[in-house]
Amino acid sequence: MKKRLTAILLTLALVLSLGPVSVWAAGGSGLSPDDPMAVPEEGMVIDGTAYRGVSSDWLSRVNPSGDEMYFSIKIPSSVTTIGSGGTVGTNVFSNLGKSKVVIDFSEATSLTTIESQAAMGAPIIGVLDLSKTKVQTIEKSAFSRCTGLTGVILPDTLEVLGAADGSSGSVFNGCSGLEFVRTANSEESTVFELPDSLKAIGKQTFKDAFSAGMDVKVVIPESVETIGSESFYSGRISQIVVKRQGDGWSSNYSGYNGKAFHTGNSNLLIIFNDGESYLDYKVNCNPTGTSRNAMTHPLTIRFGDTGIQQEKLNYQSIQYTRIEGTDFWEKDTAYTLPTLDNTPDEKLGYDIQWMLGSSALTNTGKVDTNQTNPQAKVSYSLQNPTVQFSVDGVAQANGNLTVELDDQEHTAGVLVSHPLLLEEQGSTEDEYVYFQYCWWDEYDQTPNGPRSIAEPDIFSNSEGSGILNRVKTKRSEIPIESKDHERISPNQYMVEIYGYIVRNGGEPKLFYKSHYNFIDFGSDNDYEATVTNSYVFQVTVIEPKTITIESQDITAYTGGDSINDDSFPTARYKVTGAENVTLGEIVVTGKAGVEYVLSDIEEGEIVLLPWLEEGFVPKAEANALSDNEYDTVEDDGQAGKYEIVATNLNELTVKTKDGDPVDIDFYPGTLTVRSVSDPDKVLDNTVDIAQPVVHSEDGVDTDDGIAVAVIPDGAHFYTNGQEDLGVLGTDTTDPDANPQIALLFDNILERDAAAQADTQALLAERAAETGHALTENQYEFKYLDLINEHDGNAWVSTDRDITIFWPYPEAVKSSYNDYTFSVLHFEGLHREYQIDTAEDMEKLIDDSNVVSISAAKTDKGVKFTLSGDTANGSFSPFALAWTKESGGSSGGGGGTTRYTITASAEDGGSISPSGSVRVARGSDKTFTIRADIGYEIADVLVDGESVGAVRSYTFENVREKHTIQAQFRAVKPVADPDHTGVSNWLNAEDHMAYLTGYPDGTFGPNRSMTRAEVAQMFYALLLDQDVKLTVSFSDVPTEAWYAKAVNTLASLGMVDGVGGGRFDPDRAITRAEFTTIAMGFAHRVSEGEAGFSDVSESDWFYPYVMSASQYGWIGGYSDGTFRPNNTITRSEVTTIVNNMLARAADKDYVDAHADSLRQFPDVAEGYWGYYQIMEAVNSHNYTKSDGMEDWTRLK
């Protein structure tokens, strides 16, 4: 396996010359890993003593179709160098395609150097055995991303991995299949060992290396003088032993980077020889908090006069014990301290235990001492408090608390006791302790729950990035007042407990602090904590037994009668019980002790409640009334909205059958009363505006001038389109017995003169606009609807067709046979009494759909049929028009032709205007699209075709109907630059402009970004631009505007040349290449998915695209692709870089100050990337709240 993998890798890179056909099949068929085809020396490309690859000509003869094959390559003894790869993403094995290779270095005894990127991303498999070589340097990225490598054996001549100064490395970066790295002299069981000849380990040499599940322990030889940043950044590495001896204040670690030992493992140990070495690295290398927390050194603790000595790790758990015969350590969870000797007398509030200086030693605590020869002594240690979870001041068994609500106050929290508690000893003399509390509402995986906002005097909050706004209080319990205060998994409360001791009237001194439970990303930032305990509890709230009665909304017309002998429709109610209530067990006692049992009511059923007295209060008045105060009206003569209330709630007694009291939560409904043309006469029954429906045409009688509806037997009727509201009559003993369904046939309601709106004129104009012009004095309008006259004229619908007989108007009644009749239906219009202006009325009518209905003449009137519509009903305004058949005027009247543009928006944003928008022929109409917070525009479809993620779209010269749909997608939260590592390199704090436009004044949002522009942009953002320049390129003149940027980033290892000493500054960069460069400023994500259909794990750029996707930097296209080989545009670059830096424009500020901003003629406000570009080109001051950026002024 090892040889086959090596062969494949070398073949891919070096096949440039053609060997004779006779060698094609040398050494195996190449069809399986066990039978690889050996690449003969004639098939290799060797330039002098440098191995350059496998001949592409030879390879094409052996494998013309490019199928997967297995090759083995034995490097000849004459080779001294394995050549470098060319451009980014290539290596000396790039021409192998799908094939795999094993490399055999057993005869490469002259090999001294493996150049940069020689096998980067190559398909090498098996073990890379360099033990027979004389390799001294393996340059940067030589074997990075060789995921098929399972092991590495290093030669004893090796001196440098990566760059000698540590600035670059990545030699085995991403080799996620490695199971060992060792030397020829290592034991077979050795997982990791470096040769004693090694002097330098470059940046990220072993980053993301080693296979899943491995526990790798590293020893760094004393010979190593230089270690670059994140050289061992792999979560598989748990211990790093540093053999180089430190020298205290005079550093022996000058070549060790402060981030040299970052691993991503939160349980990491970095073990130095002794305290002097520990101090050397800590003081002179300025390690980060993550590394400092992992740093340690062995020491021996003497326990009093017992003669017991134990070797422990300073600043780490006392449970760590050295693994015999090694430099490594393991935890002994059963560890116990030696038995105490020579104990003093007991002292109130103190324990007697082993003390190391002023710190008490415990069986699970840390060792923390500055003593060079530490000795533990038996002494007094102030006791920690006793903490118990509690409800209403009563201790509970655990943190799963239950609070039963009633009319009393209730609390939940902790009981904290201590023998020296001031409240217990009642004196401030001598010494006493007291406690304070910081409360956290941990809700939806954040520390800022609803109570953090609602109760800032009790609850603390976090601004993110470790900024904690603690509120210290004396409350050991918090109020629990409602179900809203319930916190069950995954939500919870957390309390930080602070204990202070006051001695002899002096200043309080912190002696106890419980730990918070926040995630610290590899380091413990709760520096005040004296214990690891955190106090988290959940609260289940049991509410009182309650039934909920919800009055149902209903719509009716003025007039009619009902069960209650008034003009209002009968109130219906939905009854539900709380979780602790069974409706069948509820007994309601009303007036005169009459009992009603709810056993016949099912949960959530809509019913009549005879024991509940209903009343109707105009909405405007209801809003002004206090609770339980009702000023009800006697009839519904005034159109409008009414609140449906219960007037006798306080007279009812509600209990369970067992006698437990039950509360009623009553929710008023809304009665909407639609007006009629003469409400007073309708209420007095002195005018008829409706006739009962009949079941056959034989029953039709229109002599009184009122239309009649014919609905066949068997039809179902629905009050307000809802079956569960029932269809009621006036019989109190049998409410369903006698409903009276009638056809409302009423005049059109006109607006008054002051409103300057003539409803009929507006309807006639709308008819003309839609091609149905009406002739003056040859039409009449009526408003039709189905109502239930025995249920307060509530509107009803049916599932069957409705045949209408419209009586002939007086003008044509005697000669109707001389006329042709037509009917127009203005769909969707109702009697909207709340419309107060002509403009509102005009809009409603302008939005209506006008439908011509086939009509026939009969001796009973004009006959036409409507389809039943259960949900919405079938009625609204109608027009009856007539034309003399002898050729008289048929009307006319032109009008404006209009077309409908249907505008809609999916969840996540809005489009304005929306709905059915009427547009006059030949005019323009603009639509504006806006994403909600947390979303972005994904695409805009016009007539089903994508026009891109635009913020506005204009239909010009409209001459047909159209559709426009806005689509949105949730914005993946952008990772904090402090967590990704970007803030270590780039300025994420100051929001400076990092891009500019071109000399012609344009920005070029859709222009491809060049390699030079990318370098200049990142250079402008660098925190430290003072970098020793070690790299230059032949095609980058020193006077070029981008020269300093290119050479600086290349010297940092952030950008590479294209081979031959060239940079190719003007070449456009692809999306994959840009993402790869961007990820150079961040920690790579070890696991995850890229989430794009055109990005697979076999792609060289996969780990970079996957990591950027996981960080929320890139979103791809609406079709789910990333398009890695497309060149990246300048607007796309601003999106990614803003995400890297966690920058996002304040849209409100940008809109309000557009004239003050740096703008470009080719970046319109509606352009999809407008705000991203504004963020990138305008320097500004800002603040942040709730993760949102608020600009304060421009710079």
- Given a cut of 70, whether residue 90 has pLDDT beyond it is no
d(Cα 956, Cα 952) in Å, to the nearest integer?
13
3-state secondary structure of 72: strand
**Residue 1186: pLDDT band with limits 50, 70, 90:** low
- Given a cut of 50, whether residue 1135 has pLDDT beyond it is yes
d(Cα 150, Cα 605) in Å, to the nearest integer?
67
Task: Please give the DSSP secondary-structure letter assigned to residue 61.
Answer: H
Quick check: 870 and 798 in contact, CB under 8 A? yes
Distance of CA 49 to the CA centre of its chain: 56
Its pTM stands at: 0.47
Higher pLDDT, 694 or 345: 694
Quick check: 1005 and 1162 in contact, CB under 8 A? yes
Which of these, 20, 25, 71, lies nearest to 43 by C-alpha position?
20
Quick check: 766 and 759 in contact, CB under 8 A? no
Q: Average pLDDT for residues 106-122, to the nearest whole number?
A: 92
Average predicted confidence (pLDDT) for the chain: 88
Higher pLDDT, 512 or 96: 512
Quick check: 864 and 853 in contact, CB under 8 A? yes
Beta strand 794-798 with 779-788 is: antiparallel
- Given a cut of 60, whether residue 524 has pLDDT beyond it is no
d(Cα 391, Cα 367) in Å, to the nearest integer?
37
Q: What is the DSSP string of 727-769?
A: ---S-SS-TTS---EEEEEEPPPPPPGGGT--HHHHHHHHHHH
Reading the block at residue 1136, the tokens are 């990614």
- Given a cut of 90, whether residue 757 has pLDDT beyond it is no
Higher pLDDT, 59 or 319: 319
d(Cα 717, Cα 700) in Å, to the nearest integer?
20
Q: Average pLDDT for residues 978-990, to the nearest whole number?
A: 90
* Planar angle of CA 669, 670, 675, nearest 5 degrees: 155
Percent of the chain with pLDDT over 70: 92
Structural domain boundaries of the chain?
Answer: 1-105, 136-296, 299-382, 386-542, 546-555+568-666, 690-884, 898-970, 977-1190
Look-up of token digits 């993301």? 208
Look-up of token digits 């200049």? 1016
Q: Average pLDDT for residues 96-103, to the nearest whole number?
A: 86
Residue-level pLDDT at 933: 77
Residue-level pLDDT at 838: 54
Reading the block at residue 473, the tokens are 């209080």
**Residue 249: pLDDT band with limits 50, 70, 90:** low
Which of these, 160, 156, 157, lies nearest to 142 by C-alpha position?
160
* pLDDT per residue as tens digits for the range 430-485: 889 999 999 999 999 889 999 999 999 999 998 876 678 999 999 999 999 999 99
Q: What is the DSSP string of 271-335?
A: E-SSHHHHHHHHHHH---HHHHHHEE-EEEEEETTTTEEEEEETTSBTTEEEPTTSS-EEE-TT-
- Given a cut of 50, whether residue 890 has pLDDT beyond it is no
Q: Average pLDDT for residues 682-705, to the nearest whole number?
A: 93
d(Cα 970, Cα 938) in Å, to the nearest integer?
9
Higher pLDDT, 897 or 17: 897
Choice among 15-24, 116-125, 148-157 with the minimum mean pLDDT: 15-24
Residue-level pLDDT at 204: 94
- Given a cut of 60, whether residue 839 has pLDDT beyond it is no
Which of these, 945, 908, 943, 946, lies nearest to 929 by C-alpha position?
908
d(Cα 297, Cα 244) in Å, to the nearest integer?
13
Reading the block at residue 650, the tokens are 């306080």
* pLDDT per residue as tens digits for the range 525-542: 677 888 888 999 999 998
Residue-level pLDDT at 427: 62
Kind and range of the H or E run holding 1079: helix 1071-1079
3-state secondary structure of 1091: coil
Residue-level pLDDT at 64: 87
Q: Average pLDDT for residues 848-863, to the nearest whole number?
A: 94
* pLDDT per residue as tens digits for the range 254-271: 999 999 998 878 789 999
Beta strand 546-551 with 573-577 is: antiparallel
d(Cα 1063, Cα 87) in Å, to the nearest integer?
9
Per-residue burial over 1148-1162, b = 16 or more CB atoms within 10 Å of its CB, e = otherwise: ebbeebeeeebbbee
Burial of 1047 (0-12, 13-18, 19+ CB in 10 A): buried
**Residue 10: pLDDT band with limits 50, 70, 90:** very low
Q: Average pLDDT for residues 851-861, to the nearest whole number?
A: 94
**Residue 961: pLDDT band with limits 50, 70, 90:** confident
Percent of the chain with pLDDT over 90: 57
- Given a cut of 50, whether residue 894 has pLDDT beyond it is no
Q: Which of 737-746, 963-972, 1185-1194 tops mean pLDDT? A: 737-746
Residue-level pLDDT at 886: 59
Quick check: 929 and 1167 in contact, CB under 8 A? no
Which of these, 440, 420, 424, 376, lies nearest to 511 by C-alpha position?
420
Residue-level pLDDT at 834: 44
* Planar angle of CA 810, 812, 816, nearest 5 degrees: 130
- Given a cut of 50, whether residue 88 has pLDDT beyond it is no
Residue-level pLDDT at 618: 92
* pLDDT per residue as tens digits for the range 322-342: 999 999 999 999 999 999 878
**Residue 6: pLDDT band with limits 50, 70, 90:** very low
398 torsion bin: left (phi>0), alpha (psi -120 to 50), beta (else): beta
**Residue 24: pLDDT band with limits 50, 70, 90:** very low
Rounded to 10 deg, the angle between the 1102-1110 and 1071-1079 helix axes is 70
Residue-level pLDDT at 302: 95
Distance of CA 831 to the CA centre of its chain: 44
- Given a cut of 90, whether residue 28 has pLDDT beyond it is no
Residue-level pLDDT at 11: 36
Quick check: 879 and 774 in contact, CB under 8 A? yes
d(Cα 805, Cα 704) in Å, to the nearest integer?
12
Q: Where are the beta strands (DSSP E) in 443-525?
A: 461-464, 467-469, 472-473, 477-479, 492-503, 509-513
Residue-level pLDDT at 91: 57
Q: Average pLDDT for residues 774-798, to the nearest whole number?
A: 94
Reading the block at residue 881, the tokens are 């028009």
Look-up of token digits 């940069």? 116
Task: Please give the DSSP secondary-structure letter assigned to residue 430.
Answer: S
Which of these, 484, 488, 456, 486, lies nearest to 472 by C-alpha position?
456
d(Cα 731, Cα 739) in Å, to the nearest integer?
9
Q: Average pLDDT for residues 699-727, to the nearest whole number?
A: 94
3-state secondary structure of 39: coil
In 625-726, where does DSSP find H-type helix? 679-684
Quick check: 838 and 857 in contact, CB under 8 A? no
Reading the block at residue 1128, the tokens are 């990246």
Distance of CA 34 to the CA centre of its chain: 48
Quick check: 962 and 903 in contact, CB under 8 A? no
Q: Average pLDDT for residues 1147-1158, to the nearest whole number?
A: 88
Reading the block at residue 76, the tokens are 């000849």
Higher pLDDT, 542 or 570: 570
Reading the block at residue 1142, the tokens are 């966690």
* pLDDT per residue as tens digits for the range 610-639: 899 999 999 877 655 445 566 899 999 999
Higher pLDDT, 527 or 725: 725
Residue-level pLDDT at 789: 95
